[in-house]
Amino acid sequence: MQRIIDFFRPSGLGFHILIAILVTLLLLVAVNYFMKEFTHHGEEVKMPNYVGKCYSDLQNSTSENFTFEVSRIKIFDESKPDGTVVKQEPLPGEKVKYGRKVTLTITTATPRMVKMPQLAGNITLRQAKHILEDSGLEVGTVVETESDSPGLVLGQYREKTGKPIAAGTEIKQGEKIKLEVGVARRNPVDYGGDGDEYDDTEVDPQIEF
């Protein structure tokens, strides 16, 4: 027992070891406290709304508590200045932690060129819409033409000019495409008889939208 008491006397080695341990623990507690105070570690806040703001202003700002990255796909919009935020993730109002990375979708002054997909053939109107959206294009006017292939896309045209557009043609992202879609024939079929014969084949006249 006396040895233990002597070991922890102020002049003993044990005393200095104990002091070192206590100082280390106090430093760790202090560092952890100040980290939480200055970095808001673990604290949640509402995500601000950045839509409509300029990306370069956000990037150069020193008052923002988040880091920003730009989405790979930019939106061509002539009505907005280049670099305007049009979409963000997380959404405005969501509860997030300080320092969270925010993905921004911004506008570009230069339209991205995309290749026109092949739609005319064995593709329904619904399928054509999905393909156009995935390609960065939009569905324009849809016209119906009596055909032996009801429900399928028969032709693809540029909305602005009305001229056919071949698959693989490079056009501006966001351009509208006019589609010609087949519907069931409604007229009698002439078999060379007395004109009283009609095609009584049952065909679903509905187009798949």
The secondary structure of 87-138 as a DSSP string is: EEESPTT-EEETT-EEEEEEEESSPPEEEPP--SSS-BHHHHHHHHHHTT-E
The pLDDT tens digits of the residues spanning 125-143 come to 999 999 999 988 999 999 9
* Closest C-alpha among 102, 103, 149, 101 to residue 125: 149
Residue 194 has pLDDT above 80, yes or no: no
**Inside any domain, residue 205:** no
Q: Using 50, 70 and 90 to split pLDDT, how confident is the model at 47? A: very high
Which CATH number covers residue 134? 3.30.10.20
Number of domains comprising the chain: 3
DSSP state of 32: H
**Inside any domain, residue 118:** yes
Q: What is the mean pLDDT of residues 191-207?
A: 49
Same domain, 104 and 123: no
Same domain, 51 and 71: yes
Whole-prediction pTM value? Answer: 0.46
pLDDT at 35: 58
Residue 5 has pLDDT above 70, yes or no: no
